[in-house]
Amino acid sequence: MIAQLFAVSYWPKPRSLYPDLITVTRLNGKQFVINAEIIRSVESNPDTTITLMNGDHIIVKEDMQVVVRLAVDYGRSLRRLLPPT
């Protein structure tokens, strides 16, 4: 029983347990995740370009509105964690 609990703790956690990561798709079709907290800006020129806090630029297939919605949803998930004032 203890061995089973120990082994299970190393399995990947469901996606919902990583609310700070948003899934996007590179132009080559590969999906990856970005930490929503390190996004500085999102532009549409005409491809969607995500600029990170460190200055890196990432071009993705998703529309600008989709990336913004994912980042806003992340912010909303944080506010749900706060106790009522």
Phi, psi of 59 (to 5 degrees): -100, 130
Q: Is the pLDDT of residue 20 over 90?
A: no
* Domain membership flag for residue 26: yes
Mean pLDDT of the chain: 79
The Cα diameter of the chain in Å comes to: 55
Q: Is the pLDDT of residue 56 over 80?
A: yes
Query: Considering its fold, how many domains does the chain have in total?
Result: 1
Task: State the pLDDT at residue 19.
Answer: 56
Q: Is the pLDDT of residue 11 over 70?
A: no
CATH of the domain at 67: 2.30.29
**Exposed, middle or buried: residue 42 (CB in 10 Å: 0-12, 13-18, 19+)?**
buried
* Domain membership flag for residue 33: yes
Phi, psi of 20 (to 5 degrees): -85, -5
Task: State the pLDDT at residue 49.
Answer: 96
Domain assignment of residue 75, given as a range: 15-81
The reported pTM is: 0.70
Q: Is the pLDDT of residue 12 over 60?
A: no
